[in-house]
Amino acid sequence: MHNVIPVTDDLLYLGGNDRRIALFESAYPVPRGVSYNSYLLLDEKTVLFDTVDAAVSETFFENLAFALKGRQLDYLVVHHMEPDHSASFQGVLSRHPETIVIANKKTAGMLKNYFGFEGKMQLVAEGETINFGKHSLSFVFAPMVHWPEVMMSYLLPEQVLFSADAFGTFGALGGSIFADKVHFERDFLDDARRYYCGIVGKYGVQVQSVLKKAANLPIKMICPLHGPVWREEKGIAWFLQKYDTWSKCVPEERGAAIFYASVYGHTQNAAEILGAELAKQDVPVKLYDVSVTHASELLAEAFRYSHLVFVSTTYNNGVFVSMENFLHDLKAHFFGKRAYAVVENGSWSPQAGQLMETEISSWKEMRQVGEKVTILSSVNEETRTKLETLAGELADDYKNS
């Protein structure tokens, strides 16, 4: 049965939620589910903004039929071709062969490759405007946020930005679709950060470029392809600020995150001692076992905090595999701009510390605090003192930098 939700007087929400999905994009756990958003403008012309993932297509088609109330569908705007938004493209066109697809040149190529589609299409250029009656829509290209064909669009007179993947979040919607009607900071922010870092975190430069374009537009509402709709000026400014912080790769919060890889618990013990010493000196601190915590959460927490400590045992003459994977993931996301410290363990030939230092120091604007601490098998009084010294140096840096 249909479940169409009004966004404005002329704009309707047609999307749906998947709470059964385990891994979004086969990569990201989504224990709170995910929404696939689609919107319909009813003007002299009818305009559909994107489709939805196959998981929610049945409700979506019921919504579309209900919302159109027998009218033809004049246009389908394709902001982003990834299948979580384009999977229902052919289903829309088979029901509405009259529809003209509005897309850019790159999208046209993908429509051909995915669906063999070469039907009715209106190609748009950056800045171009189309009138649908009392509404007009102009196009803002956003390449690599998060695919090369991605574009946003801006609807007047309501000043609505259709932002594609940007400003989206993991987490299904329930009840209200509006960010100002949910407790976003409590219920969505961690998922939003994890979504940003995983989906577009690698493309901070491109996100900055889009934010500069958006700064020239008065925006009263943001309609993303995932997660709540933003319609309150204060909330929009707050979320834009989060995107600015994340895309500049600067810390969102001051505090220490200790990431450790431990086989039998001795390396973990070093991490716990360091964490306790930091807490004694009033440094907010969190510990993560990189072998247990999902990579997407590790990445998001690294983006979040100002001071990072990498603690790893040596394994096969190298860095323990889960820590090695984590460092690889950070590098792949062009991560940097943090203070960091290193602790290693090794029973006969500690190697992990040197290898981690070499890797981390190659990232942009990383600044090492204190000297690497080497544990031989397990922490003793001497190495405990070294951990206390490192905690003191990190605490001083936290307070003074």
Interface residues toward ligand FEO, by CB under 6 A: 80, 82, 84-85, 146-147, 165, 225-226
Whether residue 313 contacts residue 345, with contact meaning beta carbons closer than 8 Å, is answered with yes
Residue 300 burial (10 A CB sphere; 0-12, 13-18, 19+): buried
Q: Which is nearer to ligand FEO, 227 or 350 (CB)?
A: 227
Tracing tokens 């039907």 back to the chain, one arrives at: 119
CB contact set of 223 (below 8 Å; sequence gap of 6+): 7, 11, 37, 39, 49, 160, 161, 162, 163, 229
CA angle 285, 200, 335 (to 5 degrees): 45
Q: Which is nearer to ligand FEO, 37 or 262 (CB)?
A: 37
Nearest approach, Cβ of residue 201 and ligand FEO (Å):
13
Q: At what angle do helices 233-248 and 204-215 cross, to 10 degrees?
A: 150
Residue nearest ligand FEO, Cβ-based: 82
Nearest approach, Cβ of residue 165 and ligand FEO (Å):
4
Q: Which is nearer to ligand FEO, 37 or 312 (CB)?
A: 37
Nearest approach, Cβ of residue 16 and ligand FEO (Å):
14
Tracing tokens 């489709």 back to the chain, one arrives at: 51
Nearest approach, Cβ of residue 20 and ligand FEO (Å):
17
Whether residue 164 contacts residue 142, with contact meaning beta carbons closer than 8 Å, is answered with yes
Nearest approach, Cβ of residue 62 and ligand FEO (Å):
22
Q: Which is nearer to ligand FEO, 38 or 59 (CB)?
A: 38
Q: Which is nearer to ligand FEO, 18 or 165 (CB)?
A: 165
Q: Which is nearer to ligand FEO, 21 or 225 (CB)?
A: 225
Nearest approach, Cβ of residue 54 and ligand FEO (Å):
13
Nearest approach, Cβ of residue 115 and ligand FEO (Å):
17
Residue 142 CA to residue 213 CA, distance in Å, equals 9
Which residues are 140's β-sheet partners?
A: 152
Nearest approach, Cβ of residue 80 and ligand FEO (Å):
6
CA angle 333, 336, 341 (to 5 degrees): 120
CB contact set of 12 (below 8 Å; sequence gap of 6+): 4, 5, 6, 39, 40, 42, 63, 67
Helix, strand, coil percentages, rounded to 5, for the chain:
40, 25, 35
Q: Which is nearer to ligand FEO, 163 or 312 (CB)?
A: 163
Nearest approach, Cβ of residue 252 and ligand FEO (Å):
22
Q: At what angle do helices 321-332 and 352-360 cross, to 10 degrees?
A: 10
| Residue 264: φ, ψ to 5° | -110, 0
Which residue, 396, 381, 386, 327, is CA-closest to 357? 327
Q: Which is nearer to ligand FEO, 85 or 372 (CB)?
A: 85
Q: Which is nearer to ligand FEO, 110 or 311 (CB)?
A: 110
Q: Which is nearer to ligand FEO, 147 or 178 (CB)?
A: 147
Residue 137 CA to residue 139 CA, distance in Å, equals 7
Nearest approach, Cβ of residue 24 and ligand FEO (Å):
8
Residue 203 CA to residue 332 CA, distance in Å, equals 10
